[in-house]
Amino acid sequence: MEKFKILLVDDEEEFVKSLSERLQLRDLNTDLAHNGEQAMQIVTDEVPDVMVLDLRMPGIDGMEVLKRVKKNYPNVQVIILTGHGSDKDESLAKKHGAFAYLRKPANLDVLVKTLKKANKYKKKLESTMSAVAFAEAGEFDTARKMAEDNIDKDK
């Protein structure tokens, strides 16, 4: 299984610790942050592939973290996992670039599948962006090959 970095952000320390342990039992690597400020520092130091983010936290709330992460690190895929969300919050989160919006208590199998899908999407996005860069540089054969590889992966 391909390894990828997951950052779990939630101010409920016992919840996020338990979730981390359960994900690690499924061979997924996690880092933890207990507030928005901590999350932004971790992202700045070592950009994760996927972030699981609570909305309601003291200080910088999850929606603000989402906005900042997507502005500065647009390839990071953010999954909102909240117990206090609303349809309005879900719509707003998706508008700001959230990959998915899940409500607590989330089924662990659903969360794991969503994490893997988010990472796969991130990899495809990065590959597509690379192909575009090669095309813009006039390296059309390389760009075409990368695009074909992306299509083959979908089969």
Range list of β-strands (E), the chain: 5-9, 29-33, 50-53, 77-82, 100-103
- For residue 88, what are its two tokens? 């309005």
Per this entry, what is the length of the chain? 155
The pLDDT of residue 55 is: 95
Reported pTM: 0.85
| 40 DSSP β-pair partners | none
User: What span, in angstroms and rounded, lies between the C-alpha atoms of 6 and 21?
Assistant: 13
Q: Using only the alpha carbons of the chain, give its radius of gyration.
A: 17
What element of type H or E holds 112? helix 108-136
The pLDDT of residue 150 is: 64
Q: How many CB atoms lie within 10 A of CB 101?
A: 20
- For residue 54, what are its two tokens? 């609570």
pLDDT digits (tens, 9 = 90+) for 108-145: 999 999 999 999 989 888 777 666 666 677 777 765 77
Architecture of domain 5-109: 3-Layer(aba) Sandwich (3.40)
- Domain range summary for the chain, segments of one domain joined by +: 5-109
147 has a pLDDT exceeding 80: no
